[in-house]
Structure 1
Amino acid sequence: MVPKVNTKAPDFTLKNTDGTGISLNDFSKRPKVLFFFPLAFSDVCTDELCSIRDNMKLYNAFDAKVIGISIDSFFALKAFKRSENINFTLLSDFNKEVSARYGVLYDDYFGMKGVAKRSTFVIDREGLIQYKEVLEDSSDLPDFKSIQKSLSSDNK
């Protein structure tokens, strides 16, 4: 079940591209933007993450910690991060536990079970979800303007 807006974001610990465990609570007192994406190296995911990369000044202006999460291994994410010069944290949810906790798994994605849906959660400084978007069609991109609006509301 997808967590609701104005509820506490579920905490988690996942491996980053160096294999180090990173927790959501490691970034307490900062707004956080979680971008769940289906699969590294796929066309739309590459477009999405490169768009985020190219707009990091916007996220930095809000002191927001940007985190990309997929079910890929941290080895694959390390290669993806390097190949696309990604300048934010990527985390591996290889065991699909966090994607399940956030309610963003496809039952069937082109014959693959348990791939993360393209989803975004903006979490405020207090750990409450202020914005969520879960896209059923993986060819759609997140509503970046609404994400920005949500971050701007958190900074008032």
Structure 2
Amino acid sequence: MAIATGSQAPDFTLKSKNDEGLADVTLSANYGESASVLLFFPLAFTSVCEAELCGIRDSLADYEGLNAKVYGISVDSPFSQEAFAKANGLTFPLLSDFNKEVSTAYDVLFEDLIGFKGVSKRAAFVISKDGEVIYAESSDDPKQLPNFDAIKAALA
């Protein structure tokens, strides 16, 4: 079961890759400034993940209007995530949880997904400016997308 609402969000620093190179992204850097939306997804270059993240791309202004930064998180390498972002015109950071530490901390790691060990579940968390989990959703069905209306309502 994913970490519960009302709890302090596990802080992390993960790698993101873009044209400038590798960059560290730390969750707590947003504290006091903006909320954070964490979207865990199983694997880059899969149809459901592409649909989810392209949908976020197309509604990114909604999240910015709610003073929230959006991050996609998977166990893919930052290099494959960069290729995935470029192929789909994603303009928000994709963070590599290659070592599976953050997916484990948030309790959203499949032990086995169709023969793949240690893949992130499809999950969504909203973290307040104070670092509190104010929305949590995780699915054992990798085809089930998060409830984006509920995510936006948590940010309002």
Structure 2 residue aligned with 1:49, among 53, 66, 70? 53
1:114 aligns with 2:109: no
Paired residue for 1:8?
8
Q: Unmatched 5+ residue regions in structure 2?
A: none
Paired residue for 1:20?
23
TM-score normalised to the size of structure 1?
Answer: 0.95
Give the Cα–Cα distance (whole angstroms) in 1 for the partners of residues 59 and 36 of structure 2.
15
Give the Cα–Cα distance (whole angstroms) in 2 for the partners of residues 140 and 47 of structure 1.
11
Root mean square deviation of aligned Cα = 0.8
Does the Cα contact within 8 Å between 2:2 and 2:137 map onto a contact in 1? no
Structure 2 residue aligned with 1:36, among 25, 37, 40? 40
**More strand as a share of residues:** 2
Q: Unmatched 5+ residue regions in structure 1?
A: none
Matches within 5 A, 1:85-124: 85-124=89-128
Matches within 5 A, 1:61-72: 61-72=65-76
TM-score normalised to the size of structure 2?
Answer: 0.95
Give the Cα–Cα distance (whole angstroms) in 1 for the partners of residues 147 and 121 of structure 2.
14
Would you identify which runs of 4 or more consecutive aligned residues in structure 1 move more than 6 Å? none
